[in-house]
Each structure stands twice: as structure tokens, then as C-alpha cells.
């Protein structure tokens, strides 16, 4: 389950699943699961140092348990989070285990991952003599065509020859093996070809290699990576491409390999030709990544034997002034001529739109004004900051450790804008900008208490004045130097907008649950049904939900406990429904839901999901079981009059009560 959630981008759910597996392993004393459990936990962390800590724990368990296969793959994972020296020291400390022929042969699949990490480390450290010993060990492993990983093994033999002795005419051998290597190693093979082989090939051979990668990568590469090589091929062949569409289609984090950087440089050149100064964003990002690779190399000659040298030459030829500035003068590119008035006007004249649309427009203009790459608005709910809107036009620039990290800076924020440089290894984000959105009256009270050192009052109201925050970050290295008065304008303008929005929300939403008031719900439903624009959206299903035996909860445990249950149930309903659906508090312990464009069959599934979640969550803890009953009716099938439809849902609800409660009934 955790693996499924991880590959579908649901990191939090993956983390919870892996955490449960780890708890089970410890409780059951099934220590054989621990290396895998800790490894899986590590891949869910957005903090590289936390991930490294879990990988190291997993590695220690794997060594103790003599789980050789997992040991090799963990070292490969750790190599990406360790300095080369630390990695090689770890290898040296465990050399008797790692370089035992029978062990390596029995775990050849993961040994080759580890071996690839050795290639990278030795090449960057200029330790080819040491690498010759590793290569000698690889050759000593008995491996023939009966081994499932023979072709992968054979490819790494060829690659080792290139690393040690330079490229000779290995083209036919490489292209033959490329079609045969194991699925497990295909991505490593492709990455290594791009880095160490492509530099020696003419254009026709490059195209042949890319054709082979594309043909065999359909089942072996992620879609976004496969698309990268397709676009790279078109660029080499000088064919027309829709590069904007390419970036829109990259949903996963891209592989930061030489092919991808080549595409970004091509895009930068197009933008510069069109006199779009945003080209400096992408150019500076590629230059930053190349410089990071170059800085790891202790030998200029060995760096020159990688495809990165071709990329540097491309920058030098296509962007001579920028090349000189970045690589020689070691300065940053500067984006000039920002039309502040235009973007501020966009913010001002669009503020009559609905909230979700307007916030997205606002964030978009914030990025244009500041030259940041990602903007998020967090709304403060129940003492936590919940993401309300995320605008990121350049997701392809962000890596796996580039999650938003604002919480640790909250202590540094009162009412002032925070701009902070980020200097962390393995993280692309260079700078963050946090703009607090505050309730002015509450802030004045907070400031008074703080100045008068009234700690007893301060502790209960600290940060209560914060209504939310605008978070922006930047991965590109181009600078803009947005004037402070512009940033202050953004803060004041959005502060006023959000305070007005909250005031309006108080008139339409229930204070306790945050759901629509009954009369507001009915007006919105009426508008949806009878507006001409919604004539083609006739299906509208109603769920009327009631907490079973709720009076007993209030009588036995008090109204405070009852209010707590109502708030928790409201959150469950919000999670189970879509943003487009309508959810209201109908009165007391009754809730009402209108599912737009939904028939009874689909509405029943939603109702069952809510019912089962309530039962599973045990909202009363161990005090007692808490359940809900739900009645369903539908427009226009059951009636064309809203009052009658709701009455029918009410009848279905009471039928559910009569049949024993904790059930869903359809009229």
C-alpha cells in the first residue's frame, strides 16, 4: 500500500503505511522487515538529512542481519546523500562484506546499483586507480548467460572500460546491450550513456541510441523521462517541437540528467530569441546544476570527459555574455524591465472574481513581480496552516527534496515580511519569501501584551493574529531585486482582501463547523438548479446525515465533547466531498450535502465512504462507538422542488434509523 501511495504522489499516506509496517516489525520481532521498512520510510521524507538518517539505520540493520541484497541498494541510496569521502569511507569499513564474490554474485541485481555509485564516486574523486580494483572484482564474479542480469553485467563491464581507458568503438556493443539489459538497471544504463558515452558519438549515432532508448523505455521508464528523450531527439534532429506542452506534461519530478538540461538550454534560447527575459530563469538553473557537478570533480580533465562539457560549450556559444558572467565573473543574471504597474493592476482589477480564481491570479502576479518560481497561500485553520492554493508554473525545476518548508521560520515572523536565503545540500530552493496575513486588531492586542510583558495573556494568544501566509520560493539563480515597497503593497493589499473575505465568510458559515448555514446552503442549491447556465447539470443528489444517539453524547459527556464531535465530523465530510459540492449544517447534529452532477448510485458510494470513515475513526475514542445514518434523494428524479427533495432525503434518513441506524438508505 505504501509503495502504491508513494508512486501516486501521496507522500503522507505512504509515510503512514510504511510507519505501520515499521511498528508491526518491531512489535512482532520480525527484524528481517526492518531494513526495508526504514528504507521505505526514508523515501517519503522531504528533508534529505532525515532521509539519510533512516537510510543509515536501515543499512545498519541490513549489515547485522546479513541482508546483502538490501545492503547494496541502501549504499546506492546513501551515495546520493553523502559526500564522496563519507561514502567511500563507509565502503571501506564494510569492504569484507561488500566485496565477497559469492555474496555479490547472489545479489547481482542490487550489487550493480552499488557498483554504479562506485563509478560516480571514483570518477569525481579522480581515483581511477582505486576504481581499477573495483573493476577487477566485477570481472571476477562468475556470470554467464544463464544469469538474469548477464546483459546488465556485460554493459557495466563495457562502461568500466570507457571510464578507465576512454571510449573506443563500443557503439555496436552498447546499442546491442541497451535492448537487452534488465528492467531494474535500464534507468542507470541510460543515465550513464547520456553522461559518459554521448560525448563521443556523432549525430547519427546519438539518434540511433535515442531511438533504442525510446523503443525499449516504453515499459522501463517513467512517462516523463521517456518524453524527455523523445524531445531531446527532436532537438538533435532540428524538428519542430511544442516545448511548452512538453513541460506541461512533466508531472513527476524530472531526472536531472544531461538530456533534460539540454532541453532547458534549448528552451532558454527560444525565449531569448523572443526577447523574453524569463530565459534567464532556466539558463541560471542549468548553470547552477552544472557548476554543482563541476565542483564535485577533483579533476578538470575527467569533467571534460562527460557530456556536461558539451553543455558548457553550448552555453558559451549560445549565451556568451551570460556564460562570462556566471562562469568567469561568478555573478548572477539579473532580470530587468519588470512592468510592476501592469501586474499590480491585474491584482486590483481581478479581485471581484470568486475566491479560488482570484487567489490563483494573485499568486501568478506575485511570481511575475518577484521572479520567484512557486507561490502558495496557506490559510490558518485550527492553529494549523492548510494549503488553500498552489501556483507553480515550473514544477519541472523542483526536485524530491524541494518541499515547502515554512514552519520552522514561523518563530521569526510577527507582522513583517521574511526573505531568507536557503543554503542546504541536496535542495534546489535558493531563497524563500514569506508574507504574513494578519488580523490587525488581534495583532495590536498581541503587541500590547508583548510590550507590557504580560506573559500569562500572551501565551494563550500568541500568533492568534495570523490568518494565513503567502509563501514564495525560488530555485532559479536569476535576480530581480523587487523593491521593498512593492512587497509591502502586496502584503497590505492581500491583507485587506483576506480580512474582507473572512468577514463575509462569517455571515454565510456556521461558527462551530465552518460549513454553510442552512439558508445559505438552500440559496446556493436553488441558484445551481435554476440558473440557465446549469441546464445541462441536472443531476443533483442530496445526502441528509444525522449522528446516531447524539443526545446521549451531550447528556453523558457534555456539550463541549459534543461540539468537538461536530467539528470532527464536518472535517470528515469535507474530505469525502469535492470542492464543487455544497456542504451545510442543517441544524443540531444534522448535516446536508449536495453532490453536483451525481446520480443516486454514485451518491450512495460517497455516503458509504462517510459512514465507514466515521465508524473507523472512533470519534469518541474508547468511550463509546459513534455512528451516523444517511438518507439520499436526487433531483430531478425524485422531485423538481427543493423542499420536497430534502423531505424525501429526510424520510430515507429516518428509515435508516428505523432499520437499526449506522446505515445508508436511498428513497
Do 532 and 440 lie in a common domain?
Answer: no
Domain of 450 in residue numbering reads as: 340-503
pLDDT of the residue at 534 = 53
CA dihedral sign, ordered 82, 88, 94, 95 = positive
Determine the Cα–Cα distance for residues 153 and 156; give it in Å rounded to an integer. Answer: 5
- The answer to whether the CB of 36 falls within 8 A of the CB of 20 is no
pLDDT of the residue at 296 = 94
Do 522 and 640 lie in a common domain?
Answer: yes
Q: Within a domain: residue 173?
A: no
Q: For 40-68, what is each residue's pLDDT tens digit?
A: 889 888 889 999 999 999 999 999 999 99
pLDDT of the residue at 255 = 66
Query: Of 470, 503, 536, which residue is a domain's last?
Result: 503
pLDDT of the residue at 253 = 59
Determine the Cα–Cα distance for residues 17 and 41; give it in Å rounded to an integer. Answer: 9
Q: How many domains does the chain have?
A: 3
* From 202-206, 216-220, 300-304, 447-451, the region with the lowest mean pLDDT: 447-451
Do 324 and 346 lie in a common domain?
Answer: no
Q: Within a domain: residue 385?
A: yes
Is the pLDDT at 461 greater than 60? The verdict is no
pLDDT of the residue at 302 = 96
The band of 459, judged by pLDDT with boundaries at 50, 70 and 90, is: very low
Q: Within a domain: residue 547?
A: yes
Do 560 and 646 lie in a common domain?
Answer: yes
pLDDT of the residue at 260 = 92
Determine the Cα–Cα distance for residues 204 and 545; give it in Å rounded to an integer. Answer: 67
- Neighbouring C-alpha atoms within 13 Å toward the C-beta of 634: 17
Determine the Cα–Cα distance for residues 135 and 278; give it in Å rounded to an integer. Answer: 45
pLDDT of the residue at 536 = 54
Q: Within a domain: residue 6?
A: no
Is the pLDDT at 333 greater than 80? The verdict is yes
* From 206-220, 392-406, 510-524, the region with the lowest mean pLDDT: 392-406
Average pLDDT, the chain: 90
Direct distance between the N- and C-terminal alpha carbons of the chain, in angstroms, rounded to an integer: 36
Q: Within a domain: residue 477?
A: yes
Do 492 and 376 lie in a common domain?
Answer: yes
pLDDT of the residue at 436 = 95
Q: Within a domain: residue 393?
A: yes
- The three-state DSSP-derived secondary structure of 187-233 is HHHHHHHHHHHHHHCCHHHHHHHHHHHHHHHCCCCCHHHHHHHHHHH
How does DSSP classify residue 395? G
The band of 395, judged by pLDDT with boundaries at 50, 70 and 90, is: confident
pLDDT of the residue at 460 = 44
- The answer to whether the CB of 486 falls within 8 A of the CB of 366 is no
Query: Where is mean pLDDT largest: 18-22, 334-338, 451-455, 498-502?
Result: 498-502
Is the pLDDT at 587 greater than 80? The verdict is yes
Burial class, 504, CB count within 10 angstroms (exposed 0-12 / middle 13-18 / buried 19+): exposed
- Backbone dihedral region of 275: left (phi > 0), alpha (psi from -120 to 50 degrees) or beta? left
pLDDT of the residue at 252 = 56
CATH classification at residue 352: 3.30.450.40
* From 197-211, 235-249, 271-285, the region with the lowest mean pLDDT: 235-249
Q: Within a domain: residue 629?
A: yes
The residue length of the chain stands at 667
pLDDT of the residue at 407 = 83
Cell numbers placing 334? 539579473
Cell numbers placing 115? 557498483
Query: Of 281, 307, 333, which residue is a domain's last?
Result: 333
Type and span of the H or E element at 594: strand 590-596
Kindly state the average pLDDT of the residues 10-19.
Answer: 79
Cell numbers placing 166? 576512454
Is the pLDDT at 12 greater than 80? The verdict is no
Q: Mark out the alpha helices in 421-511 (DSSP H runs).
A: 440-451, 455-461, 484-508
Do 351 and 417 lie in a common domain?
Answer: yes
- The answer to whether the CB of 167 falls within 8 A of the CB of 201 is no
Grid coordinates 458509504 are at which residue? 608
Determine the Cα–Cα distance for residues 112 and 25; give it in Å rounded to an integer. Answer: 28
Is the pLDDT at 598 greater than 70? The verdict is yes
Q: For 169-187, what is each residue's pLDDT tens digit?
A: 899 999 999 999 999 999 9
What separation in angstroms does the CA of 326 have from each of 316, 319, 363, 427?
A: 10, 10, 29, 20
Kindly state the average pLDDT of the residues 12-19.
Answer: 81
Is the pLDDT at 97 greater than 70? The verdict is yes
CA dihedral sign, ordered 201, 203, 204, 206 = positive
* From 356-365, 407-416, 516-525, the region with the lowest mean pLDDT: 407-416
Is the pLDDT at 207 greater than 90? The verdict is yes
Do 356 and 475 lie in a common domain?
Answer: yes
Do 411 and 531 lie in a common domain?
Answer: no
Q: What percent of the chain has pLDDT over 90?
A: 66
Query: Of 333, 356, 383, which residue is a domain's last?
Result: 333
Question: What is residue 372's three-state secondary structure?
Answer: coil
Do 487 and 629 lie in a common domain?
Answer: no
CATH classification at residue 644: 3.30.70.270
Do 622 and 605 lie in a common domain?
Answer: yes
Give the residue from 627, 551, 541 showing the smallest Cα distance to 592.
541
Determine the Cα–Cα distance for residues 657 and 661; give it in Å rounded to an integer. Answer: 4
- The strands making up 540-547's β-sheet, listed across from edge to edge, are 582-587, 590-596, 540-547, 628-635, 664-666
pLDDT of the residue at 194 = 95
Determine the Cα–Cα distance for residues 154 and 150; give it in Å rounded to an integer. Answer: 6
Distance of CA 76 to the CA centre of its chain: 23
- Backbone dihedral region of 201: left (phi > 0), alpha (psi from -120 to 50 degrees) or beta? beta
Q: For 116-174, what is each residue's pLDDT tens digit?
A: 999 999 999 999 999 999 999 999 999 999 999 999 999 999 999 999 999 988 999 99
Do 540 and 557 lie in a common domain?
Answer: yes
Q: Mark out the alpha helices in 383-471 (DSSP H runs).
A: 440-451, 455-461
Selected residue with higher pLDDT from 478 and 458:
478
Q: Within a domain: residue 294?
A: yes
Q: Who contacts 142 (Cβ-Cβ below 8 Å, separation ≥6)?
A: 101, 105
| 582-587 and 466-474 beta bridge pairing | unpaired
Cα angle vertex 396, ends 390, 397, to 5°? 90
Q: For 482-539, what is each residue's pLDDT tens digit?
A: 899 999 999 999 999 998 888 887 788 898 998 999 999 999 999 888 775 555 556 8
Do 659 and 544 lie in a common domain?
Answer: yes
What separation in angstroms does the CA of 394 have from each of 246, 268, 431?
A: 12, 13, 16
Give the residue from 48, 507, 476 showing the smallest Cα distance to 268.
476
Amino acid at each position: 500500500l505504501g509503495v502504491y501511495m508513494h508512486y501516486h504522489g501521496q507522500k503522507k499516506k505512504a509515510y503512514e503505511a510504511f510507519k505501520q509496517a515499521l511498528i508491526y516489525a518491531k512489535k512482532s520481532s520480525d527484524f528481517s522487515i526492518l531494513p526495508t521498512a526504514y528504507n521505505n520510510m526514508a523515501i517519503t521524507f522531504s528533508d534529505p538529512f532525515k532521509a539519510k538518517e533512516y537510510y543509515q539505520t536501515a543499512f545498519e540493520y541490513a549489515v547485522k542481519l546479513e541482508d546483502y541484497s538490501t545492503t547494496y541498494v541502501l549504499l546506492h541510496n546513501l551515495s546520493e546523500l553523502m559526500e564522496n569521502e563519507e561514502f567511500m569511507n563507509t565502503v571501506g569499513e564494510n569492504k569484507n562484506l561488500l566485496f565477497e564474490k559469492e555474496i555479490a554474485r547472489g545479489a547481482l541485481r542490487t550489487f550493480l546499483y552499488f557498483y554504479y555509485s562506485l563509478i560516480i564516486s571514483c570518477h569525481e574523486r579522480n581515483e581511477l586507480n582505486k576504481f581499477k580494483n573495483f573493476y577487477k572484482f566485477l570481472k571476477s564474479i562468475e556470470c554467464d548467460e544463464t544469469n538474469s542480469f548477464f546483459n546488465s553485467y556485460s554493459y557495466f563491464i563495457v562502461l568500466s572500460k570507457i571510464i578507465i581507458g576512454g571510449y573506443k568503438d563500443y557503439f555496436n556493443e552498447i546499442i546491442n546491450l541497451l535492448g537487452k539489459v534488465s528492467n531494474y538497471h535500464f534507468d542507470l544504463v541510460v543515465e550513464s550513456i547520456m553522461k559518459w558515452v554521448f560525448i563521443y558519438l556523432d549525430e547519427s549515432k546519438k539518434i540511433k541510441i535515442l531511438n533504442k532508448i525510446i523503443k525499449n523505455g516504453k515499459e522501463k521508464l517513467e512517462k516523463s523521462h521517456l518524453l524527455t528523450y523523445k524531445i531531446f531527439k527532436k532537438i538533435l534532429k532540428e524538428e519542430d517541437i511544442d516545448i511548452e506542452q512538453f513541460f506541461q506534461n512533466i508531472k513527476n519530478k524530472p531526472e536531472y540528467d544531461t538530456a533534460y538540461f539540454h532541453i532547458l538550454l534549448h528552451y532558454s534560447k527560444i525565449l531569448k530569441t523572443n526577447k523574453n527575459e524569463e530565459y534567464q530563469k532556466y539558463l541560471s538553473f542549468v548553470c547552477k546544476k552544472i557548476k554543482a557537478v563541476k565542483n564535485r570533480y577533483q579533476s578538470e580533465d575527467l569533467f571534460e570527459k562527460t557530456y556536461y562539457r558539451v553543455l558548457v560549450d553550448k552555453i558559451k556559444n549560445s549565451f556568451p555574455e551570460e556564460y562570462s558572467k556566471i562562469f568567469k565573473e561568478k555573478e548572477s543574471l539579473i532580470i530587468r524591465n519588470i512592468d510592476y504597474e501592469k501586474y499590480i493592476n491585474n491584482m486590483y482589477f481581478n479581485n471581484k472574481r470568486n475566491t479560488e480564481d482570484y487567489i490563483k491570479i494573485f499568486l501568478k502576479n506575485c511570481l511575475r513581480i518577484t521572479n520567484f518560481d512557486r507561490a502558495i497561500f496557506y490559510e490558518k485553520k485550527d492553529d494549523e496552516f492548510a494549503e488553500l492554493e498552489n501556483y507553480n508554473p515550473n514544477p519541472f525545476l523542483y526536485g524530491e527534496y524541494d518541499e515547502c518548508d515554512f514552519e520552522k521560520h514561523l518563530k521569526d515572523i510577527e507582522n513583517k515580511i521574511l526573505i531568507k536565503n536557503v543554503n542546504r545540500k541536496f535542495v534546489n530552493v535558493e531563497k524563500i519569501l514569506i508574507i504574513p496575513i494578519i488580523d490587525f486588531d488581534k495583532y495590536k492586542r498581541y503587541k500590547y501584551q508583548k510590550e507590557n510583558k504580560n506573559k500569562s495573556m500572551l501565551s494563550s494568544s500568541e500568533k492568534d493574529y495570523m490568518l494565513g501566509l503567502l509563501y514564495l520560493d525560488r530555485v532559479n539563480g536569476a535576480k530581480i531585486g523587487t523593491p521593498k515597497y512593492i512587497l509591502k503593497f502586496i502584503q497590505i493589499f492581500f491583507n485587506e482582501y483576506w480580512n474582507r473575505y473572512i468577514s463575509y465568510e462569517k455571515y454565510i458559515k456556521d461558527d462551530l463547523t465552518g460549513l454553510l448555514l442552512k439558508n445559505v446552503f438552500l440559496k446556493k442549491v436553488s441558484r445551481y438548479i435554476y440558473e440557465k447556465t446549469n441546464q445541462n447539470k441536472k443531476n443533483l443528489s442530496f445526502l441528509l446525515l444525522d449522528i446516531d444517539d447524539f443526545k446521549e453524547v451531550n447528556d453523558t459527556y457534555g456539550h463541549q465533547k459534543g461540539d468537538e464531535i461536530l467539528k470532527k465530523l464536518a472535517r470528515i465530510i469535507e474530505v469525502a466531498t469535492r470542492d464543487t459540492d455544497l456542504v451545510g449544517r442543517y441544524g443540531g447534529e444534522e448535516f446536508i450535502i449536495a453532490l453536483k452532477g451525481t446520480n443516486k448510485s454514485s451518491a450512495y458510494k460517497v455516503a458509504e465512504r462517510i459512514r465507514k470513515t466515521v465508524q473507523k475513526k472512533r470519534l469518541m475514542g474508547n468511550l463509546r462507538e459513534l455512528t451516523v445514518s444517511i438518507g439520499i434523494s436526487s433531483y430531478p428524479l425524485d422531485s423538481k422542488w427543493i423542499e420536497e427533495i430534502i423531505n424525501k432525503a429526510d424520510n430515507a434518513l429516518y428509515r435508516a434509523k428505523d432499520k437499526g441506524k449506522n446505515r445508508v438508505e436511498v428513497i
